[in-house]
Amino acid sequence: MLPKTLRRRARLPVVGRPARRGWPGRCAQVWALACACLMLAACASKPLVPYSTETPPLILAPAASAGVRDARGRFREIYCAILSTRQQALPDHLPCETALTRVGVEPAGTGKPVDLGPSRRHLMAMIVPGIGYECFEPWLDPPGTVATHVRHFGYDAALLRVDALSGTAHNARQVRDAVMALPEGPDGPYVVLIGYSKGAPDILEAVVGYPEIRSRVVAVVSAAGAVGGSPLANDAEQYQANLLQHFPGSKCEAGDGRGVESLRPAVRRAWLADHPLPTGLRYYSLVTFPEPDRISSILESSYDKLARIDARNDSQMIFYDQIVPGSALVGYVNADHWALAVPIARSRPTIGAMFVTRNAYPREALTEALLRFVEEDLASPPSR
């Protein structure tokens, strides 16, 4: 049993800071959702990528040329097998060809059978959420079905709570403390750190800055991660993010006031240039690459803003900014940024029907597939 976990009503357990709860009326729900979108969809005329010479030398190159291993073929085999097998048992089922986006020439699968039995290594996913999550979590009241599902197969999952509005350096310390508070596994390291959105750079800064956690972590996953930042952060200010403190029931704090700054592309790319990732860990990238008609209506304005740079975005992130250097590219998910990890339509069906119109996605099956893929990949020798 993990320390400080929360299993009431089968919610995703929480590691780190204590949870805070509350509930609003319907009008307050609409205001809350509008507040969440304000920071990333505010109208402005300045360029999303302003002119600046304060940047490391950059190049946009094919993933293989940047040391990224294309593992999409095997992941598709695993995910498709799970979707087919579990389609009657899990919500929001999609055919595999709809659930994943084919980008370019995808490698063929291995042809190996997919083991859907109990986990042999009992991996534990610690999920670090994105900016503002602590502010609207009480309103969202997530059902925790992902953790419940993967436990059926010997895996586990917990939410690693970090400051909603603080910068990556501050949150990296919280990641470190939560990992060090876990008991050591009897069979060696078993923790898979999964960073959603801003959670990805929070994790990367933790594994670079706190080497003591590396012996407890087997893998790092960017799930729609803001690895290279988001141009939308150039168009936002911290005071807009701080509006999330007014979410109904929220008691999140302003933190160190650097959350938005830490998401700006210049900041993230400079950090990556100055901080080589430690060897000895496996890195994986799960990228959101939705078809345009799978963007929720409330996210269309931010999608259109990012489309001024590249239409291949999930409404918050451009697809190539989600990949960890030197990682294995797991797959391109046909879901917008919120649909990947934030179950608004399930928790708030009226809001979902009116505003978050493309939020349905088989997250339980996706998480199981991700953990099974990582477990299988860890059993193979690391690629050079």
What pLDDT sits at residue 325? 95
Bridge partners for 331 per DSSP = 286
Q: How many alpha carbons fall within 13 Å on the CB side of residue 3?
A: 10
- pTM value is 0.91
Q: Which residues contact 267 (CB under 8 A, 6 or more apart)?
A: 229, 261
According to the model, what pLDDT value does residue 355 have? Answer: 93
Low-confidence ranges of the chain (pLDDT < 70): 1-45, 383-384
pLDDT value, residue 89 = 94
**Residue 260 has what pLDDT?**
96
Structure confidence by residue, pLDDT tens digits, 266-277? 999 999 999 999
Tokens encoding 95: 């055919």
Rounded CA separation 39/46 (Å): 15
pLDDT of residue 247: 83
How many residues in the chain? Answer: 384
Measured in degrees and rounded to the nearest 5, phi and psi for residue 96 equal -60, -40
Which domains are seen in the chain, by residue range?
68-378 (3.40.50.1820)
Count of CB atoms situated within 10 Å of the CB of 256: 16
Q: What interhelical angle do 199-209 and 168-180 show, nearest 10?
A: 70
Strand blocks (E) in 54-169: 69-70, 124-128, 156-160
- Give tens-digit pLDDT for 103-124: 999 999 999 999 999 999 999 9
Cα(322)–Cα(16) distance, integer angstroms: 25
Per-residue confidence (pLDDT) for residue 232, from 0 to 100: 96
- Position 9 scores a pLDDT of 34
Strand ranges (DSSP E) for the chain? 14-15, 69-70, 124-128, 156-160, 191-196, 217-223, 282-288, 328-333
